[in-house]
Amino acid sequence: MATYVKRAFKYRFCPTDAQAAELSRTFGCVRKVYNLALAARTQAWTRQERVNYNQTSAMLTVWKKTGELAYLNEVSSVPLQQALRHLQVAFTNFFGKRAKYPRFKSRKKSRKSAEYTTSAFRFRDGRLTLAKMREPLDIVWTRPLPEGVSPSTVTVSQDPAGRWFVSMLCDDPSVQPLPATDTAVGIDVGLNHLLTLSTGEKITNPRHERRDRAALARAQRRLSKKARGDGANRAKARRKVAKIHARIADRRRDTLHKLTTRLVRENQTLVIEDLSIRNMVRNRSLARAVSDAAWADFRSLLEYKAQWYGREVIAVDRWFPSSKLCSACGALRERMPLNVRAWTCDCGTTHDRDVNAAKNLLAAGLAVTACGAGARPQRSTPGGQSATKQETPRREP
C-alpha cells in the first residue's frame, strides 16, 4: 500500500453564533482538562509516582462525574482526550530533552484550539460538521482538498485577531519526489538582503514589520491607555493590535513559502548556515530586525519541503568562517567587521561579502556530502537527539 505525505490544509470559516459559543466552550474545557492533568502529573512526580496518559484518561472520567466539573459533559469528549494526548507528547519531549517542562495554559495568552478525530466529525460532499453541532461549518474553500481524500483529524482554532480557522490533516498523493538534478546552491541569510545565493542573486528583505510599524505603535498606545477593567473598549483595542500583527505575519509567511518552494524546486542540494537564532535575538540592537527576517521559519520550511520533494538540506557549522574565507584561493582573513561589505583578497579577487559567504557555504556543504566532515546534522535524529551527542534519558512520570 502506498504511503503519502501527511499534509494540513488550513481554511478560514465563519461560524454562526451557536457554533462560536459551542467552540468557545470547547476551548475552555480543553484548557481546563489540560491544566488539571498537568497538575495531577506534577503532584504525582513530587511523590516519585508515575502517571501516564491512561491514568489521566481515567481521571477525566471521574472529573466528569463531580458536580464542580459536570460542565465537561456538555462538549465533545474527543477534544478533551486529545488534550491529554498532547500533554503526553509534551512530557515525552521534556524527558527526551527536546523541550522544557510543560506549562499551564493561560485563559488570555494560550492558543485557542480543539482537535477532533474521525469519530467526532463528518465530512461529506465538501461539508464539514463537528460533534455537538447540527449545521456544517461555513468554510471559505480557497483551494480544494486532494481528490478522493478525507481528513483524518480536524483542528479548529481562533487567533488573537478573532479569526476562525479549521485545519484538516490529509494524505496528499500529489506530493511526490521531484526529478533529481545536479544543481546545488549556497544560501546566506542577512538583514539588508533576506537571502544571498551562491549564484550571485540577492533577494531583497521585504521588512514586513517596518511597513506597519507606525500603525502598530499607534494601536499599542491606544491599548496602553485603556484601563485593565475597561471591558469591551480594552478588548476592542487589543484586537486591533492583534489584527496588525496578524497582517504582518501573513505577509511574512507568504513570502517565505514562495521563496522556499522556488529554491527546493530548482536545486537538488541546499546549503545553509546553522545559526543560533535564540542567541542572536538577545542583541537589543538587532532583535527586531532578526525576528522580522524569520530565519528560523525559513529553515523550517526549507527542511520539510526538501524532505517532501526528495531534496537535501545541509547545515554548515555556525563557526565556519564563511565571510572571512576567500572563495577563490582559500586565504583566511583575521578580522571582518560587519561594516565591511566588500573586500579584496591578496590574490587580487574582489568579493561581495554576502556572495562570498554563500559560495563558501556551498563549497563546505559539498565537501560534507563527499567526506562527511565540518557540518552538523540538519536538525536531529529520528529519536530527537543530535547525531553527534548521546544523552541519558530521564525517567518519565
Active site residues: 188, 273, 354
Contact 141, 11 (CB under 8 A): yes
Contacts of 344 (CB under 8 A, 6+ apart): 350, 351
Contact 238, 222 (CB under 8 A): no
Residue 157 in grid coordinates: 482554532
Contact 87, 56 (CB under 8 A): yes
| SS3 state of residue 309 | coil
Helices (H), the chain: 17-46, 53-64, 77-95, 208-211, 213-224, 232-266, 277-280, 287-293, 295-308, 353-371
Residue 325 in grid coordinates: 574565507
Contact 14, 64 (CB under 8 A): no
Return the beta strands (E) in the chain as ranges.
Answer: 5-12, 112-117, 121-124, 127-130, 153-158, 164-172, 184-189, 193-197, 202-204, 269-273, 312-316, 342-344, 350-352, 375-376
Q: Closest Cα partner for 267 from 183, 146, 328, 197?
A: 183
Residue 359 in grid coordinates: 559560495
